Structures are given as structure tokens and as C-alpha cells.
Amino acid sequence: MNPLSHPHPPDYLDKRKVSQSFDRAAPVYEEWASLQKMVGDELVERLEWVKMKPRQIVDVGAGTGNLSRALSHNYKSADIYIVDISEKMIIEARKKASKWFSKQHFVCADAAQLPFIDDSVDLLISNLMLQWCNDIAAVFAEFARVLKPDGALFFSTLGPDTLKELRQSWASVDNGNHVNKFIDMHDYGDALLRAGLINPVMDVDRLEFTYPDVKQLMKTLKQIGAHNITAGRSRSLTGKGKFQAMLAAYEKYRSAEGLLPATYEVVYGHALGKRKIEPVSEAASVAVPVKWEK
């Protein structure tokens, strides 16, 4: 095999393909994204840990804006920037936004290249987005750049036990890349420290969803744009024999109630902005954070 034909590692995620996948999912995303809503609600509750009145909030990987709408309700005086790499997700978020609420702003952008000025954001929140990023260090460095020194970051992502039943069932059939790779909680904590963010705190929760069969699980993943798009995935259709063997392997997980489980390891983290080096003037603290380019 020519090594030049596979310039990226098997777990690599092409940003263009990620964007396209979520573009396709955008019209029906909220109908299927029950995990994302559940975890987003938990993030909103965790914000009560920090007694702050943010004026500039950025929701990175906002999808169709469900979490942003909750934030707009809780922080009525704040400007909220709804950011996603998928243009069609942003369009859906705009459609679902309250017509009277003028403090929501919609931005199609990459998490590793945010269009905000340095030290401008009071609260940065990201719900189940980081698992779609190849370079967590670059993303956290960007988060640290835009956060005010006294700002706060709250996020959720997925850990390595996510979809372990599906991963192990495929592994019994072949050595192919069938499920996205997920990073360990401690690696996220280390990356936060390297980015210069202060007092990072990590914890993990495990949720189990059940399905009547594997096909329903795979349909759910596809409907939210979360199916396998790694560089190492097979470019041809999976043979019927292999697919049936995977389904048979998954059957060992079927419960007494007749349902198949799918585990999600949800990683939560929060940290404060980089340590203040120089006093920040009042004028700088109220600057509109978006930088526009012609």
C-alpha cells in the first residue's frame, strides 16, 4: 500500500467532512439529539457554581442552538455568540431563536480559529463538540486566548468508553476503523493546563441508552451527524457477512428486558481564564468581541 495514499492517521477527522455531516443532520438534529440536550442541561446547572454575570458569552459547537437559548434565558443582558462549523446548523439555530431577542449572534467558524479578539469573552461554553477536534491543544489555546483573565470555560465531551459495545462488536469482526476515537479525561485536564487555563476541574459520568437493535443505534448516530467519518474508515460498503457478524457479536449485551445498551462516557470540565498579567481597563472589558475581516 502506498503510504502517501493515507496522509492522515486512521482517527483523523477531516473538518470539511465533519461540517458536511452536520449540515446534512441539521434539519432533524433536535429530534434525535437527546444525549446532547441532557448533557447541555447539566452544563447549565453547573454554571450556578460560578457566581458571575457574563456580558459576552460564546457557545462553541452550538449546533441548532438549544443550549444557547437556555443561556439567553438565564443571562438576558448578555450578548451570546452561537458558533458552529456547520453553516446549516447555524441557519437552523437562527430559525429557532426568539425573534424578539436581539442579543444572539450567529457565527459559522472553526473552534481552532475563533473570530474574537483577545481577552474579550466572559463565559465560553462547549457541549459535546471537542470530540470532533483533531488538535485539542490548539482548541484550548484558542479558548485561552479569547477568554478574559477572569472568564470561565465550561465544557462537556466524550471519553473512551463511549460506544464501547459497538466498538468491541466490530473489533470481533475485523481491525477496521468503525467508531470515532475518544480522548481520556486526564488528557483534557493536561491540555487545559498547557493552555495556561487556571484551576481546571474534571469529572466523568456514564450514561446508558438502550435500543431495540443495533440498526436503531446506528440510525440515531447518523441522524445527529455522529456516524463514523474518520480517515481510517472503509471506503467501500461493509460486506453483508461482516455486518451480520457484528450484529451477532452485539447480541451478547442484550439485557433481560430485551434491549441493547450503548454507553456514553461524558466528560465534564471547567477552568478559569489565564492568570491576569496586567490590569484590564473597563473600556477593553466591554469591547464587542467579533473581529470582522473584509
Answer whether residue 78 is part of any domain.
yes
Q: Are 224 and 18 in contact (CB under 8 A)?
A: no
> pLDDT value at position 291?
47
Retrieve residue 124's grid coordinates: 465560553
CATH value at residue 187: 3.40.50.150
Edge-to-edge strands of the sheet including 260-272? Answer: 104-108, 79-84, 56-60, 121-127, 147-158, 260-272, 198-211
Answer whether residue 234 is part of any domain.
no
Give which of 171, 172, 121 is closest to 144, Cα–Cα.
121
Give residue-wise pLDDT tens across range 145-178. 999 999 999 999 999 999 999 999 999 998 878 8
Residue range of the domain that includes 117? 9-160+183-206+266-285
Answer whether residue 30 is part of any domain.
yes
Answer whether residue 233 is part of any domain.
no
- The enclosing H or E element of 194 equals helix 185-194
Answer whether residue 79 is part of any domain.
yes
Q: How far is 79 from 241, CA to CA, in rounded Å?
A: 53
Answer whether residue 173 is part of any domain.
no
Give residue-wise pLDDT tens across range 51-98. 889 999 999 999 999 999 999 999 999 999 999 999 999 999 999 987
> The whole model's pTM is what?
0.86
pLDDT at 137 over 50: yes
pLDDT at 266 over 90: yes
Answer whether residue 31 is part of any domain.
yes
Answer whether residue 190 is part of any domain.
yes
Helix axes 185-194, 136-146, angle to 10 degrees: 50
Number of domains in the chain: 1
